[in-house]
Amino acid sequence: MFMFNKLHRTAEELIRHSGGRVTVGRIRILSVLLAEQQAITHREIEQRLPQTLQLDRVTLYRALEWLADKNLIHKVTSDDRAWRYHANRELHTHQHAHFKCTRCAQMICLDDLPIERSWPLPAGYRFQEIELTVKGLCADCS
Amino acid sequence: MFMFNKLHRTAEELIRHSGGRVTVGRIRILSVLLAEQQAITHREIEQRLPQTLQLDRVTLYRALEWLADKNLIHKVTSDDRAWRYHANRELHTHQHAHFKCTRCAQMICLDDLPIERSWPLPAGYRFQEIELTVKGLCADCS
DNA sequence: CAATCATTGCAACATTGTTGCGTTTATTTA
DNA sequence: TAAATAAACGCAACAATGTTGCAATGATTG
């Protein structure tokens, strides 16, 4: 992966800037997510980490939680009971939709789908955020 | 629950009409869902079943799967890794949105939110369906 | 370099859902 | 109505994903 060094430096920068401790694990995890177009699962992140840096499952979960707290990544709900994670680019720090392929389970962000900020809700209900997943077949599967 | 007999009969009717075997379990489960405004979890269904009819966990899952196959109920994805189920009224046999309270986890159907049938997707992608969850605080929690 | 406290790794646990298989039962058929 | 049949059921065991408590490690600061 020829982009690796650049991503690695970007990741380190972002983490340092967020005021937490800069650890190898966090850097590598964020690098993986920055290199990825799709939103990927915990397991997929594990598989993409170098052999030389196999983190404990719990550590990975906690690092992901921390990165999400710091708004460097975001979590996406799916129908298969597994969170998927994706690095926050400036483009989609705001609310955006996701697409999930019903055959291969690939999940991408649909950045150009602006979602309205509020919805008509029953009286007394208060809007916070929206989660929108479009399902169908991706280019490879259709 | 004074409506019980009526619901029970409705449920039995619907099941018989769907061409499967009419079992006590299916009738009671569907009755519970027909009586409920919200979309509820497997566990909540269990709790609402009469003491005299405690079904095995597996049986409940399989009955719910069957009911969903027959389009008598529908499954809703949530961010807490648990399916929620709701009886299909004529109003929302089509695609509709759901609201989930971020405090008490209550989940209701937003019937009056019509969702467009298709979305602009990348080239080669094929639309199938959409899942939309609005999150916020319900009337009781806000 | 030592002190400090955030981060990590391990073990154990929790929740939700699934599979295989022998038994029961709703329905059909004689 | 009784026997035959296949669909449902219940049990046990398993699988996947995620969480908690706690002792050990290591990044940062002075």
- Secondary structure of residue B88 in the 3-state scheme: coil
Quote the pLDDT of residue A37.
92
Q: Judge whether residue B118 has pLDDT over 90.
A: no
Q: What is the rounded distance in angstroms from the CA atom of residue B128 to the CA atom of residue A102?
A: 9
Question: What is the chain A residue with the closest CA to B122?
Answer: A139
Q: Judge whether residue A2 has pLDDT over 80.
A: no
The pLDDT tens digits for B37-54 are 999 999 999 999 998 888
Alpha-carbon torsion (B24, B13, B82, B107), positive or negative: negative
Nucleotides of C under 7 A from a protein CB: 6-12, 15-20, 25-27
Q: List the A40-41 sheet strands across, edge first.
A: A40-41, A84-87, A73-76
What does pLDDT average to over chain B?
A: 91
What does pLDDT average to over chain A?
A: 91
Q: How many CA atoms lie within 13 A of B38 on its CB side?
A: 15
Q: What is the rounded distance in angstroms from the CA atom of residue B35 to the CA atom of residue A11?
A: 52
| A 12-51 → B contacts, CB under 8 A | none
Look at strands A126-137 and A97-101 and give their pairing: parallel
Q: What is the rounded distance in angstroms from the CA atom of residue A109 to the CA atom of residue A73?
A: 12
The pLDDT tens digits for A53-87 are 889 999 999 999 999 999 999 999 999 999 999 99
In the block, which residue shows the tokens 């967020």? A18
Quote the pLDDT of residue A28.
96
What's the CATH number of domain A4-136, 1.10.287.610, 2.70.70.10, 3.30.230.10, 1.10.10.10?
1.10.10.10
Nearest chain B CA: its distance from A1 CA (Å): 26
User: Residue A136 and residue B125: Cβ atoms within 8 Å?
Assistant: yes
Residue A38: which H helix or E strand, with range?
A: none
